[in-house]
Chain A
Amino acid sequence: MRFRGLKSLVIAAFLMASPVSAEPVRLYIDADFSHGAQAAEAIELGVRTALREVGGRVGDLSLDVMLFNNRANAKRSLQTLRTFVSDPEALAVIGGVQSPPYLTNRKFINENGILLLLPWSAAGPVTRAAEGQTNWIFRVSIDDTKSAEFLVGRVVDVHNCTRPGLLLMDTGWGRVNRIALLKSFEGRLEEQPGVWMFSGTVGATEASRIAVEVREAGIDCAIMLANDANGALIVRKLFTESAPVRVISHWGIMAGDFPGSVANEIREEMQIEVLQTCGLHAEEAGRPEVKRALDMAGDGNTVFRSLSDVPSVAGFVHGYDLTRILVVALGQAVLSEDWAGADMQGRRALLRHALENLQKPVEGILKTYNRPFRRYSISDPDAHEALGLSDLCVAGFSRDGRLVLPDRGASLRQ
């Protein structure tokens, strides 16, 4: 590990000292730096950490990061995408937490050849291009088409819940997951679970009503899809209005300061679990990349001893792994014959091709990626998904609100 870090530094120093003037290219981060600032910043940290490892350069290219705050607004995101299209030095866009901007703008992205790399947003259709369209979207994150099955397995098989319920935010994301979750429940319980949908701006009254209904329905486990604010409200109301319910939450609540909004005693009482990829487990398992990344991520003021120290850690982990893959792919692309003569659109295409045909394995925090992406087709819908069902885990909260491995060391890995 030390050797590797040294090597990186040498490469970076070499690149920076190179008399050849570097050609600047830009990486856009299109994320919600307002409400979901914590998650967005975690992604940014992961990206910058990975870049820092290569000194911000690949070959003759100097990689610069530009931040665009989409405030979870698809139109704002579209604005960024348009800016990207007209920017001759923009190489790729790295997305934020929310899926709606990319669900809404997917057609625009694919039609305009915008290379979009998603480290967090989970909506299934984003990486599945329509037939006849070139697929320009790659993901290193949870895919909701997999998460439903994982969450249901967690409820039924691990916790042996008999009367589960679904608490879903009434958005496109929530509605898509409702279908997927109910489908996953089919045949596994005597009766289908109860479903409660609530709006993104749900207030205390409605949250109370839902909590009462949950109690009255005798729910023992709840799968929750919410963001940090409304998720916190629902949890608080469940705690006060209802009998103890085990909450297994999708990771939407980790986009913000969910632990800050929910008291520790509640978290403990309700045994809240959060869907995560298996970064913590990798750390636990001692993957050297975790330590290296944490070392690189910290600066003079901030020191990360563990992934748990990183707020919205999923964003950091995925952002880091994603950028690692990107750097390798870019290094592969610039070696192609066409690179030098190609314009930026041509180079994006070459990079996209390199991503689908990565020649070398990439060492990430979560795992070693052996050809994470493939050429996409309708018959291979997971071609642009770097992670699969086996990469999903859950995490719990420590008393100070950090994500940690679930209590009592029980393996949550599935």
Chain B
Amino acid sequence: MIKNFGKYILMLYYIFHKPEKFGVYFKRLSHEVIELGVKSLFIVSIMSAFMGAVLVIQTATAIESAWIPDYTVGFTVKQSMLLEFCPTIISLILAGKVGSSIASELGSMKVTEQIDALEVMGVNSIGYLIGPKILGSLFIFPIVITYSMFFGFMGGGLVCYFTEIIPVNQYILGIRSFSEDNFTFIRYALTKTVVFAFLITSISSYFGYYLKGGSLAVGKASTNAVVYSSIFILFANYILTQLMLI
């Protein structure tokens, strides 16, 4: 356990070594932004829209009372999406999609000696392969989560429009109400996202890069990457919530 943590810290140390050539690293960074972020937009938009839609139906059903105004549904959806669903649940989904992809990519490179080839050339393989993934995710994940919030609200709005469970204008009023705390909530959500992005990419990279064994070990590394990323996301979620919201 301590040995693994030490290796993880050493890996992070090597990431911040000076790149051999900034241009090549920047190209790699752009590639990672597309691979990790842009290529996740489809699944994120589907998940978010359905989460928003289901949340509207569940909330509207749960608070069917003449004493509670309809816009409460919109407000509840906003709070749930901003505070928890978008940053945490979408990050857990990304831990599955992106985390397993990173671990299997690096693991395959390890098994096929591509990482050794980089080292023999004199390239800092950790800096070249993992650095852009971490930096890319820190940049693109907050954008993906903002996009997810938009789609979540849209999903809820579409349910209101098609099912008339509550009037659309009441839903929008709920979304816009009590907006003085919105900045705090968005800052909280995006801070969480940045921390989760770091955890997902660094933990998954660790499992892929330090893989030992053959192709069977690649599958195991991929599973470990998802499991440990998810556990650490939940743990960090609790800590950050305690620190930032109380």
Does A pair with B?
no
**Chain A residues with a Cβ under 8 A of chain B:** none
